[in-house]
Structure 1
Amino acid sequence: MTKDDRIAAFSQLGQFLNQFSSPTPIRDSSVPHNESFFDRMHTVVERMVHHNGWFTPENVAFSIQQWSTLLSEEELNNWLAPYTLSETSPKKIGIIMAGNIPLVGFHDFLSVLITGNMALVKLSSHDNQLLPLLSNYLIAVSPGFKDRIVFHENKLTDFDAIIATGSDNTARYFEHYFGKVPNIIRKNRNSVAILTGNESNTQLTDLGEDIFRYFGLGCRSVSKLLVPKDYDFDQFFKAIFGYNDIINNAKYANNYDYNKAVYLMSEYKLLDNGFLMLKEDDRYASPIATLFYEYYDGEEDLTSRLHRDRNLLQCIVGSHKITSVPFGKTQYPALADYADGEDIIEFLININ
């Protein structure tokens, strides 16, 4: 397969996925291989929702919709244009995926295959339903992928490089076992929003999308606010009130109740609107249904802090000049918005 062949195949996958970009699928008779895959896809999506209580129909559809948009020939060609891809013997690339949000490992999967390499995939037990079906669809579209995709249930072996995503604890394990081969090993990262007190109601409402999408489980989900001293949280609470239905999710509500009880027993000072707690804390990783906040003391303090903690952060959200992502856009990354800022395509090209 040439690069153009691979791009065409993923573009057809994008057309297939577009049918499932809302919780109620809409069949498009023009999509290739629909007769074999549409009903199977519908069943698998329903199974995902039952398998993992965090994977609501809305969040699964949102993830699928994002990928259906990115998997167009134009998007894929623009993404790969800066790189020189040589059609050499494929390398065997192990991919160890996380399972915190639907299809969270798809970008690694795409990157390995689009560069002409072989993907040896170890799925998370939390998100192991959909990717095998999408792989079968790719193979139906372009049979050359059949020998390029292998799923492993046990320990990965016989690989040339590794891309592994996990927690700080699992990263130590990954570094021990995979440190002798070319690797990208991702640890915990979180996202923050900088508020100045001059945000509009619309901007703060958009920030709610960054906080609540995927229940805050993604590394691109905002888990902390940096605010000026004497910041008034009333406007923030009013702006995000439209997200209050999140408390109707049983898993989210259980976490809210549990964490609130822990905080109250510990006599922590909280700001609480009935579905989200704000707690002053210098850490970045906040529990579900909790948003940490911390005060900053001027531009110099803010700049120094973010530079110091740059390896802990995925996105810096807001309209401040230091920020990198506008309000409401953390869950809309482009293909070139690489996790942890590590260029996967460049990494794969340079494997010897």
Structure 2
Amino acid sequence: MDLHQRIKAFTLLGDFMSQFIQETPINKEEIPHNDLFFDGFKHQMKLAEEHNGWFNRANLIYALSGWSHLLTEENLNNWVSSYDLQAVDPKCIAIIMAGNIPLVGFHDFLAVLISGHDVLVKQSSNDKQLLPFLAKYLEFVEPEFKGKITFTEEKLSDFDAVIATGSNNTARYFEYYFKDKPAIIRKNRNSVAVLTGEESPEELEKLAEDIFRYYGLGCRNVSKLFVPKEYNFDAFFQGVYEWHPIINETKYANNYDYNKAVYLMSEFDMLENGFLMIKEDTSYASPIATVFYEHYESMEDLRRKLDTDAEKIQCIVSKGQNSNDIAFGQTQRPALTDYADGVDTLKFLLTISS
């Protein structure tokens, strides 16, 4: 199977996903193998919702929409054009996936297979319904993928390299356990937004997407704000108000009530609007329904701090303060070239073949 065949197969997978990016799925007659897979994937989405209360229909649709728009022949060709994937010596690459948001490990899965390697997947129990079904569809549209995709719930064995994502605690275990294998080990990271007080209402509304999408559970979700001295949060609260129905979601509301009680009992100063709390804190990882904030003296000082803490940060959202910053509302719409932790996965996979 050559690179063109692999790209074509993932393009067809993107077409298949595109049927499920609205509240009511649309069965498109031109999609191959819909007679076998369309109703089955609807059922898998239902199972994912029932299994994990954080995976509501809106978040499942959002994840599928993102991938269906990325998996086009043009996007995939542009992505791989910078790499020499024609002469890859196939190895078995193990992937240990997180389960915080739907299909969170799909980019690693895609990178391994598009580069010509075999994949051995160990999924999180929180996100195990969708990917095996999509992998089966991939095998139907390109039969040469059969035998190259394996899912396991057992101890990993017989692999040549590993990509593992987890917490800081599990990362220490991964680093020890996989010390003799080429590896990408990912730890906790969080995303931040830099505000100046000059943001438009529209930009603050888009920032709300970065905060609340997936209930804030993703490493690309903004969990902390950096604001100037004497920053007035009124405009910020107005900007995020559109998301106020989130408090009607049981799991989110339970976290909001719990964390609010903890803050009140601890006599912490915080601001809240009935569905979000903001608290001054030097940490980057904030609890659900809470965003931390910290003041900065000058933009130069802040840039130095962010550079120092780079290994703790996944994304920086701002209005053009730095060349590599992300625009408001775009953290959960990464491009194929937006590698987690800034580690080029395809480049790593090419070193395994040499």
Place the TM-score, normalised by the shorter chain, in its bin. Answer: over 0.9
Taking structure 2 as the reference length, the TM-score comes to 0.98
How far apart are the structure 2 equivalents of 1:133 and 1:288?
30
| Residue number in structure 1 paired with 2:123 | 123
The CA distance in 1 between the partners of 2:61 and 2:88, in whole Å, is 36
CA drift at 1:155: 1.0
1:240 aligned counterpart, secondary structure:
helix
Identity, % of aligned positions: 59
Q: Is the 8 A contact 2:226 2:295 kept in 1?
A: yes
Letter in structure 1 aligned against 2:32:
P
What residue number does 2:158 align with?
A: 158
Q: Counterpart of 1:248? A: 248
Q: What TM-score do you get using the length of structure 1 for normalisation?
A: 0.99
Contact 1:314/1:339 (<8 A) preserved: yes
AA aligned to 1:79 is: W
For structure 1, which runs of at least 5 residues remain unmatched after alignment?
Answer: none
Asked whether the equivalents of residues 2 and 87 of structure 1 are also in contact (C-alpha less than 8 Å), the reply is no
1:34-53 alignment runs, 5 A limit = 34-53=34-53
Q: Secondary structure at the match of 2:164?
A: strand
Is 2:134 the counterpart of 1:134?
yes
Deviation at 1:145, TM superposition (A): 0.7
1:338 to 2:309 alignment: no
The equivalent residue for 1:216 is 216
Match of 1:230, SS state, is coil
Give structure 1 regions of 4+ aligned residues with deviation exceeding 4 angstroms: none
Give the match for residue 351 of structure 2.
350
Matches within 5 A, 1:18-29: 18-29=18-29
Q: Distance in 2 between matches of 1:324 and 1:237?
A: 23
Instruction: Give the Cα separation in 2 of the matches to 1:287 and 1:179.
Output: 32
Partner AA of 1:298 in structure 2: S
- 1:14 aligns to what SS in structure 2? helix
Hey, what's the Cα distance between the residues in 1 that align with 2:328 and 2:33? 39
* C-alpha contact 2:2 2:86 (8 A) present in aligned 1: no
Match runs of 1:100-115 below 5 Å: 100-115=100-115
Determine the structure 2 residue equivalent to 1:196: 196
CA deviations over 1:154-201 (Å, ceiling 9, x no partner): 111111100000000000010010111110000000000000000000
1:1-352 map, 5 Å: 1-322=1-322, 324-351=325-352, 352=354
The separation in 2 between residues aligned to 1:294 and 1:179, in whole angstroms, is: 37
Find the aligned partners of 2:114 and 2:179 in 1 and give their Cα distance: 25
Q: Which moved more, 1:239-248 or 1:299-308?
A: 299-308
Cα deviation code 1:214-252 (max 9, x no counterpart): 000000000000000000000100111110010011000
Between the two proteins, the alignment pairs up a number of residues equal to 352
Q: CA-to-partner distance for each residue in 1:65-96, whole Å, 9 max, x for gaps?
A: 00001011000000000111133431000000
Q: Deviations over 1:1-24 (max 9, x none)?
A: 000000000000000000001222
| Letter of the 1:167 counterpart | S
Q: Which amino acid aligns with 2:235?
A: Q
Q: Relative to structure 2, which stretch is displaced further, 66-75 or 317-326?
A: 317-326
Instruction: Name the SS of the counterpart of 1:90 in structure 2.
Output: coil
Supply the distance in 2 between the matched residues of 1:180 and 1:136 (Cα, whole angstroms): 32
Deviation at 1:321, TM superposition (A): 1.7
Superposed displacement of residue 297, structure 1: 0.4
Point out where structure 2 has 5 or more consecutive residues left out of the alignment.
none
CA RMSD between the two structures: 0.8
Q: Which moved more, 1:191-200 or 1:16-25?
A: 16-25
Q: Deviations over 1:44-84 (max 9, x none)?
A: 00110111000010000000000001011000000000111
3-state SS in 1 of match to 2:146: helix
